[in-house]
Structure 1
Amino acid sequence: MSAELTRARQQLNQIRSLLKQGKYQPAAQAYHDALLTFLKNPLMKAEKEEFQRLLEDNAHHLNNDKELRKVFPLMIQYAPGKERDILDIIKELLQELMNSAANEAQLIMSMMDKRKQDELERGQQLLDARQYTEASAVFKALVTEFSNDPELKGNIGDKFIKAGRYEEAYEYLAAAIDESPESIHFYNRIGIALRKLGKFDVAEKYFARAVKFAGRDPHLFFNLGRLYVDWKRWDKCAKAACMAIKLSPDFEEAKKMLLFANKKMGKE
Structure 2
Amino acid sequence: MLKVAPKELRENIARANGYLRRNEVTRALGAMSAALRQYAGVQLMRGPRAEMDIQICEFLNALTHHQAMQSLLDPTHSGKPRSIPYQQGKEAAIATVLEGLAKIMVNEAEEKVRREAEARLERKKSLIETGVQLLNDGQYAKGRAFLKRVAEEFSEEEGIRVQLGQIFAAAGQLAEAAEMYEESMEHEPRASAAYTGAVAAWTELREYERAENVYKAILRTFGGHPNTFGKMAKMYWDWRKRDKAEELAIRALQGDPDQPEANEVMQALSSRR
With normalisation by structure 1, the TM-score equals 0.71
Q: Give the Å deviation of 1:183.
A: 0.6
Cα distance between partner residues in 2 of 1:77 and 1:226 = 81
Q: Which amino acid aligns with 1:191?
A: V
Query: Any idea what the Cα deviations from partners look like across 1:87-109, whole Å, max 9, x if unmatched?
Result: 34533443443233223212211
The share of aligned pairs that are identical, in percent, is 20
Matched, 1:203 2:207: no
Q: Which amino acid aligns with 1:257?
A: E
Q: Secondary structure at the match of 2:199?
A: helix
Cα distance between partner residues in 2 of 1:151 and 1:123 = 18
Matched, 1:44 2:48: yes
Cα distance between partner residues in 1 of 2:204 and 2:262 = 22
Which of 250, 257, 264 does residue 260 from structure 1 map onto? 264
Q: Secondary structure at the match of 1:181?
A: coil
Distance 1:218 1:262, change over 3 A: closer
Q: How does 1:64-143 map to 2 (within 5 A)?
A: 67-68=71-72, 78-143=86-151
State the aligned residue count.
248
- Would you tell me which structure has more helix in proportion to its own residues? 1
Cα distance between partner residues in 2 of 1:213 and 1:131 = 37
Which of 50, 53, 65 does residue 57 from structure 2 map onto? 53
Corresponding position of 2:198: 190
Q: Which amino acid aligns with 1:260?
A: E
Distance 1:243 1:34, change over 3 A: farther
Cα distance between partner residues in 2 of 1:13 and 1:129 = 59
TM-align CA RMSD: 4.1
With normalisation by structure 2, the TM-score equals 0.70
Q: Is the contact made by 2:32 and 2:95 (CA closer than 8 Å) also made in structure 1?
A: no
Q: Which amino acid aligns with 2:132?
A: Q
Which of 245, 254, 259 does residue 256 from structure 2 map onto? 245
Cα distance between partner residues in 1 of 2:250 and 2:127 = 43
Identify which range, 220-229 or 152-161, moves more after superposition: 220-229
Cα distance between partner residues in 2 of 1:197 and 1:70 = 64
